[in-house]
């Protein structure tokens, strides 16, 4: 087994994979269905040729640029395990900054708190909030039927089916109508925010294996912030707040959009661990 894993690490290193050692281990653990302790227990054992071939086939996919999460089918986020699919954006650790801020706001409200995860993808944001906040009542929405399908699957695995609801449609479309206008205490969103001209320059794992629908924020990367800021207050309670994840150079631009639209009075900036502005909270 050791020889195969070390060979895999060399293959991944030769392809420029910075996390080659970690990837080689996680692919093996996925194939053998073992945890880290199980991995170490198997380290000195012999691996039969058929298993070794299956392992190296998976390693070859990773070497070609297939994301590790698409090989293993999972991603850790907020201490929870989410199922992921190629049709839906893989949750990123940076988004945990946004989730932690919203969780604190939900807990501060104390009473039942209605939260909308707008553009939910796998459900990483909304389901994390529902799982970690007893008083949260979460609605998850997305324009993509594949995203809703993935989020529902994660909700089922986490036992959250009775605590969350789902809507499919573009932004606020599912919540508006002649006899309906839902309102929420918190609207949280990690919208597409990459400039269209930057998409072709992204890593192969992203540009060739992640859904462009979840990445492309238009010519300046700000299209979805404009669309959400323009209508969000209609769907918030009087004391409601809107929380965004943003690109690390977009904070002032998004704040300026709100100012120009005459929306919201207050704007709070929150930095990530690298010291970049990562979250904006409007109230």
Helices marked H in the chain — which ranges? 2-14, 20-32, 36-42, 49-63, 68-72, 95-109, 124-132, 145-157, 204-207, 223-231, 251-260
At 4, the pLDDT band (50, 70, 90 cuts) reads confident
SS3 category, 183: coil
pLDDT over threshold 70, residue 252: yes
Exposed e or buried b per residue across 163-192, where buried means at least 16 C-beta atoms within 10 angstroms of its C-beta: bbebbeeebbebbeeeeeeeebbbbbbbbb
Share of the chain above pLDDT 90, in %: 84
- Greatest Cα pair distance, the chain, in angstroms, is 68
Task: Determine the Cα–Cα distance for residues 239 and 144; give it in Å rounded to an integer.
Answer: 30
Task: Determine the Cα–Cα distance for residues 61 and 73; give it in Å rounded to an integer.
Answer: 13
Give the Cα-Cα-Cα angle 229, 117, 137 (nearest 5 degrees): 125
Strand bridging mode 113-118 / 136-142: parallel
221's enclosing H/E stretch is none
Average pLDDT, the chain: 94
SS3 category, 48: coil
Task: Determine the Cα–Cα distance for residues 43 and 220; give it in Å rounded to an integer.
Answer: 49
pLDDT for residue 44: 84
Task: Determine the Cα–Cα distance for residues 260 and 264; give it in Å rounded to an integer.
Answer: 10
At 165, the pLDDT band (50, 70, 90 cuts) reads very high
pLDDT for residue 231: 95
Share of the chain above pLDDT 70, in %: 99
pLDDT for residue 39: 87
pLDDT over threshold 70, residue 94: yes
pLDDT over threshold 90, residue 154: yes
């Amino acid at each position: 087994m050791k020889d195969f894993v070390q060979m895999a690490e060399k293959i991944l290193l030769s392809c420029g994979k910075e996390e080659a050692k970690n990837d080689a281990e996680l692919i093996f653990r996925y194939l053998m269905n073992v945890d880290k302790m199980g991995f170490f227990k198997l380290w000195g054992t012999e691996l039969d040729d058929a298993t070794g071939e299956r392992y190296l086939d998976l390693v070859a996919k990773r070497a070609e640029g297939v994301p590790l999460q698409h090989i293993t089918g999972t991603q850790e986020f907020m201490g929870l395990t989410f199922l992921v699919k190629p049709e839906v954006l893989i949750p990123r650790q940076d988004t945990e900054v946004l989730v932690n801020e919203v969780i604190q706001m939900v807990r501060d409200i104390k009473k039942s708190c209605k939260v909308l995860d707008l553009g939910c993808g796998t459900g990483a944001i909304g389901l994390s909030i529902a799982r970690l906040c007893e008083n949260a009542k979460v609605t998850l929405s997305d324009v993509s039927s594949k995203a809703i399908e993935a989020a529902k699957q994660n909700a089922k695995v986490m036992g959250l089916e009775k605590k969350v609801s789902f809507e499919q449609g573009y932004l606020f479309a599912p919540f508006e109508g002649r006899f309906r206008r839902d309102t929420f205490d918190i609207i949280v969103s990690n919208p597409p925010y990459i400039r269209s001209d930057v998409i072709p320059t992204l890593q192969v794992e992203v540009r060739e294996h992640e859904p462009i629908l979840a990445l492309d924020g238009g010519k300046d990367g700000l299209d979805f912030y404009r669309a959400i800021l323009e209508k969000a207050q209609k769907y918030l309670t009087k004391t409601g707040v809107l929380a965004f994840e943003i690109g690390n150079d977009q904070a002032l631009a998004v704040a300026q959009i709100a100012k120009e639209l005459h929306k919201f009075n207050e704007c709070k900036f929150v930095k990530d661990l690298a010291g970049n502005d990562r979250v904006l909270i409007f109230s």
